[in-house]
Amino acid sequence: MKRIIFALSLFAAVPLIAQSPAATRRPSRPTVAEAERFIAGVERDLAEKSLKSSRAGWVAANFITDDTEEMSADAQRAYSVAVQQYALQASRFDRLKLPAMLGRKLMLLKLALSAPPPSNPTEATELVRLGVGLEAEYGKGRYCRAAKEAGKPEECLQINDLSRILATSRDPNELLEAWTGWHTISRQMRPRYARFVELSNKGSRELGFANTGAMWRAGYDMDPDAFSAELERIWKQVEPLYLSLHAYTRAKLVEKYGASVVPPNGMIPGHLLGNMWAQEWGNIYEIVAPAGVPRGYDVTELLKARNVDARGMVKYGESFFTSLGFAPLPETFWKRSLLVKPRDREVVCHASAWDIDSRDDIRIKACFEPNAEDFVTAHHELGHSFYQRAYKNQPFLLQNGANDGFHEAIGDAVALSINSTYLKQVGLLDNPPSAAGDTAFLLRQAMDKVAFLPFGLLIDQWRWKVFSGEVKPADYNKAWWDLRNKYQGVSAPVARTEADFDPGAKFHIPGNTPYTRYFLARVLQFQFYRAMCREAGHTGPLYTCSFYNSKAAGARLARMLESGQSVPWQETLFTMTGERQMDGNALLEYFQPLKVWLDRQNQGKPVGWSVAAGR
């Protein structure tokens, strides 16, 4: 996830391009040749600074200390200040008619940072230290509670521990304590986050954008307002499926916990959905599992039965890509990746894929455990890794996904093939379940894939309002829950105030990682999946397809990955799918049998929610 082109990697003060005294007195008109020399020098310098920043960032995420934070901040500052200065210098060529590729590089240069620093060196340093410090504070976050036995020290739980409680416990009081405990770790972030927003906006304005949110939206090869409208169009396509799933899940939770805990026509309290942020609901599948339908298989049980560990899960993911015709991962990947949480130090456990040198030093950092969720995550992260290596021969500024949603969608498109067909092919499943279990399979998939859609949309809806000033620091928490109520139909389990800063309890806020990419990825992955299934010659319902071992599908995928960000994403999408528009219809086709079933289960029950009936 952090390609480190997003994670600030172009900092240290960089001198302006040298000019002669005469040119300083009377600037000459820019030329195409000058622009070409400029961008060639920029790419050389940024590649070098990116390498240093990536290495320092890797150490800081894997060995969290004050010193590593400072070293990472220094390297990041060197990268981002360089990007900022180069981007400002690039404005000299704005009115020059340039070759398409050169113009694209200059545009991408302006969009290279998710938090562009102000040109003032003191403020640039402050911005980077705020960003590194916020991410480190999240990584060190813990909730400490009294020991269960008298005389024992207090028990301190980190996000993995608390997430495990949310996933496995069915005691509403224990769930509430875990949810509330984690949401205390971000309360002190608010003033520093507000200052981070202020400084980031200043840097964005210096580059010609209204604010940082507008800059983010400008990175999609279309007008920022048109992009916002496109997101809403896609959401309206898929919203009916989400509403059906929400109504069915709420009814099952009412049966489990009672109407006094879950309002029958209101919002679902966030601590009951099996995930700290209620973004994916698969962990409560056994509560909603359809009666009388065969149970099917449990990937967690399959992994444990064969003693598959973290490395083994990643090996399965690698084997999927090699079955499509991709070369195996380099040996350095296995030597340098972090796949299991160390016992002797704090690390940022949030899974991420790292492209250290823009060549072959690719790595994963994660705290994997042998379960179904992490099995999918391993495939997802490898999607980043194989994408990173595929476009390594592109010029530095074009080494990225066609848009950031593409980068997130690749591994997830592969993971859609993690079905009974694939599990039997790789020897994890002996006897695939009968077709009678298809409803259960689709419901289990929807509890993650469909449940995530509104959450994936609202994170940046909140952040864009913050960056634009529509939401002031005094209303951060209220605005957060207004959006979660509106899009998710999820409520806070206990009263929240502006003494809380609940957005900061989600990694991507203190980590300053744009989030719309994940919403787009949930849509694009089904478009990619359908295209590769067609290439593999699949017939039958879409959800039964696995393109594992299809060299034809792999060749189509490779063509898309190799292009990086060299052309507008619409062209890359057309190469892959024959379509030029991101669209929810492939997702709806995949889940169409489930939608029919859900609507039948919801007959006579409320669909949607009343905010007044929430908690």
Catalogue the active-site residues: 350-351, 380-381, 384, 408, 508, 518
Rounded CA gap, 525 and 541, in Å? 17
Q: Minimal CA–CA distance to 272: which of 250, 289, 241? A: 250
Distance CA(218)–CA(227), nearest Å, equals 8
Burial class (CB in 10 A: 0-12, 13-18, 19+), 570: middle
For CA atoms 144, 145, 148, 153, the dihedral sign is positive
Tokens (6 digits) for 70: 């400072």
CB atoms within 10 A of CB 455: 23
- Provide DSSP, 192-217: HHHHHHHHHHHHHHHTT-SSHHHHHH
Strands 352-355 and 490-491: unpaired
Q: In whole angstroms, what is the distance from residue 54 CA to residue 3 CA?
A: 9
CA distance 194 to 489: 27
Q: What is the dihedral of CA 484, 490, 494, 500, to 10 degrees?
A: -20
Residue 509 neighbours by CB under 8 Å, 6+ apart:
193, 459, 463, 503
Beta-bridge partners for 362: 355
Q: How does DSSP classify residue 363?
A: E
Residues 6+ apart with CB under 8 A from 570: 221, 580, 581
Q: Is the CB of residue 417 less than 8 Å from the CB of residue 320?
A: yes
Q: What angle do CA 303, 587, 300 make, to 5 degrees?
A: 10
What are the tokens at 391?
Answer: 């476009």
First to last CA, the chain: 34
Tracing tokens 């393109």 back to the chain, one arrives at: 547
Give the span between the Cα atoms of 54 and 2, in whole angstroms: 10
DSSP-based three-state secondary structure for 508: coil
Closest CA to 566 of 334, 360, 396, 412: 396
Helices (H), 91-223: 100-110, 121-139, 159-168, 172-182, 190-206, 212-217
Long-range contacts of 231-238 (CB under 8 A, 24+ apart): 231/457, 231/516, 231/519, 234/519, 234/523, 234/582, 234/583, 234/584, 235/453, 235/454, 235/457, 235/487, 237/583, 237/584, 237/585, 237/588, 238/450, 238/453, 238/523, 238/584, 238/587, 238/588
